[in-house]
Structure 1
């Protein structure tokens, strides 16, 4: 992510030690690590959400193509998308059928 070498990290560490002092440095490092971790988790969550939305959009487009072809003589990719959507619809409807 960042192109920081050993010497740059060493300079940052020495400067942080001089500015913050040995008493406050461990707390500042923990706080920085916690903040970076939360930012990384947020970025990963956003990335996963975008990927999921793209996948749903692709399935929707494939379903439109399949409907235009009358759900007959579909390419393997379209047939796979239709089957996946059918399985998802069945799994959603199953809890309601049991009652």
Structure 2
């Protein structure tokens, strides 16, 4: 609220002592203390009334639902960040080396390792990622086969 240091308070106290006088100064401080206490009580009651009104109208539930909806993990943004970081680290010169002419066997589909006591949501996520990896491997193999099978399409 107010930024008063010790030097400012000392100056105010000396001026009050001179203007009001030493006899009436304790009475004035007592009155100011009561006024401050009443103002704080009124502010406390007002904030309690606002919180009670918010509880009755369901604002906290709406805020909780809004936080839940905008959670990056629930929207899959963490996976998007991982993919973006992998893309930024990707070096096209390293991955552009020519494939051998012989048809290489398709890469093995990564299987889901047996995990100790995962819940159904974690297991479903693992199966989904394994299926995505398998689909990506099949697509890469099909692209290699199409590139090697068509003349003039290589490097």
Please give the TM-score of this superposition, normalised by the length of structure 1. Answer: 0.58
- Structure 2 stretches of 5 or more lacking a match? 66-155
Equivalents in 1 of 2:38, 2:8: separation in Å? Answer: 24
Equivalents in 2 of 1:2, 1:48: separation in Å? Answer: 24
Equivalents in 2 of 1:56, 1:3: separation in Å? Answer: 37
Map of 1:50-69 to 2, 5 A cutoff?
Answer: 50-58=50-58
CA-CA distance at 1:3 after TM superposition: 1.3
Secondary structure in 2 matching 1:22 = coil
Question: What is the aligned partner in structure 1 of residue 12 from structure 2?
Answer: 12
Question: What is the aligned partner in structure 1 of residue 43 from structure 2?
Answer: 43
Equivalents in 1 of 2:45, 2:37: separation in Å? Answer: 12
- RMSD of aligned Cα (Å): 1.8
Q: Which has the higher contact order (CA 8 A, sep 6+)?
A: 1
Equivalents in 1 of 2:5, 2:51: separation in Å? Answer: 32
Please give the TM-score of this superposition, normalised by the length of structure 2. Answer: 0.37
Question: What is the aligned partner in structure 2 of residue 85 from structure 1?
Answer: none
Q: Which has the larger radius of gyration?
A: 2
Equivalents in 2 of 1:40, 1:2: separation in Å? Answer: 15
CA-CA distance at 1:2 after TM superposition: 2.1
CA-CA distance at 1:45 after TM superposition: 0.4
Equivalents in 2 of 1:47, 1:33: separation in Å? Answer: 21
